[in-house]
Every structure is written in structure tokens, then in C-alpha cells.
Copies of this chain bind each other. A is one copy, B any other.
Amino acid sequence: MATGRTHRPATRSRGIPEATVARLPLYLRALTALSERSVPTVSSEELAAAAGVNSAKLRKDFSYLGSYGTRGVGYDVEYLVYQISRELGLTQDWPVVIVGIGNLGAALANYGGFASRGFRVAALIDADPAMAGKPVAGIPVQHSDDLEKIIQDNGVSIGVIATPAGAAQAVCERLVAAGVTSILNFAPTVLSVPEGVDVRKVDLSIELQILAFHEQRKAGEEAAAASDGGVPAAAVRSDSTDQGPDGDMPAVMPA
């Protein structure tokens, strides 16, 4: 694929920093878009803009992969797509199972970007017997009784949990026992897993709460000058949030 070969990456020794790994998919997406438009090369500046990061960071990130750019020119798009894909392990096909085919599970099963980049939905699993056999996104739902067999038959190592919170830990344990070593958890609960198993969590409600925090802070900033007897406005800066209700606690606390 692409470029003919450069000499070896020299020193890639130490592992790639986690923060960098987390950004590689971002770069890959931007590069894929460029590739589709047949753009042959791109500078760190342009690519960084497309990915929403700054160019120094991008160059530093790429430096952990090797020297894949050309000074004075930029990066060969196709070549970089390949290198990042390989680094992320996307040159192979990962069979994935989704457990819990409710609203969310169905949405995930239908999610296009899924299949497009290295992932294949190998099976949909649900505990509801009524769901069994029903096709979702063209794939028949299977009953969770067969979970272990499904995992093993398909050589699945990545599982997606989209069950209610109450079922998540049990599902997790069965997945792990059956051989899954990476889990993407959409259930709003902390999973405990044995050493060697990776878990990533996706949690709508947490994201909203983080937004609310910042939203609140914005609101407090404008109103900063209003009222508030007592504390001098000396350094009201970002401090605004805690000032208000602090003086006298609502009766919420028990004791």
C-alpha cells in the first residue's frame, strides 16, 4: 500500500503514550477524509486543524510512531493512513459482539462507522427470549444462554456491553471467562475485571454532568458582580462557583 519504503523507524522503543494512542483515531479519520478526496500530502498544520488539535502536538505524536514525514513537504496521506492503521491494529479484522440489544444496542449495531474500520459485528446477544432470532441491522439476535459458545466460535476478543446497569457485571464476567479481553462498557456502572482485561467506559450522563459544570461556571461569571454581601470581590475570579450557597447549608445534610 502506498509508498515504497523508508528506512526503519530507528527508535520507536518505548511504548506510545496513552494520550497519543487516544488521538491516533482522530488523525486517522481526518486522513481518511483527505484520502477520499485524493489529497496526496498534508502538512502538520493542515492535518492538525482537521483533527482539532495543534500542530506541535500532532508532530510530537507522530514522532512516537517514527519519522513518516518529509521536511519541507509534509506527510504522504496514504502512507500515514497505513502506518496509523497498522499501529492501531486495524489492518486485521476484529470480530465484536454486542450484548444487550435494547435501544442503544440496536443503535450500535446499526452504526456504520463500525464495519468500516476494522470491526465486524460478529453477533448480537440479548437475554430476552422474545428477541431471539429477530434481525437487527440484518443480524439475528441470539440468546445469551449461548454467549460462551458464540464468543468461542467466532474468536471474539472485544465485547460491547449495552445492557442495563444491573446486568453489566455479570455479563462482563461471562465475557471474560469466555475469552474476551477488551470491553467497551455503555452501562452506567464500574466494572471490575481481572488483570489483563481492558475496559473503556462510555457514559452519557457523566458527559452531561461535566458540561453542566462548565455551563454553571459560565453563568456564574456574568452574574459575578451582583449582590453577595460579605465576601469582598477581591479575587472573585473563577472562584464564583463555591461562594453562593456555602455560607449556610441547606438542610440537606443529615448528621
Chain A positions within 8 Å of B, measured between CB atoms, are 1-2, 4-6, 8-15, 18, 21-22, 24-26, 28-30, 40, 50-52, 65-66, 76, 78-79, 82-83, 86-90, 92, 94, 96, 102-104, 106-108, 110-111, 113-114, 116-119, 157-158, 181-184, 186, 188, 190, 192, 195-196, 198-218, 228, 230-232, 234-235, 237-239, 241-243, 245-255
Provide the residues of chain B in CB contact with A231, threshold 8 Å: 5, 8, 83, 86
Provided the pairs A88-B212, A214-B198, A234-B8 are in contact, do residues A117 and B205 lie with their beta carbons within 8 angstroms? Answer: yes
* Pair B200/A253 contact, Cβ less than 8 Å: no
Copies in the complex: 2
> Which of the residues B89, B104, B246 comes within 8 Å of A213, measured between beta carbons?
B89
Question: Nearest chain B CB to A45's CB is how many angstroms away?
Answer: 15
Report the Cα distance A6→B192, complex, angstroms: 36
> Which of the residues B88, B92, B203, B254 comes within 8 Å of A40, measured between beta carbons?
B254
Provide the residues of chain B in CB contact with A253, threshold 8 Å: 2, 76, 78-79, 82, 203, 206-207, 210
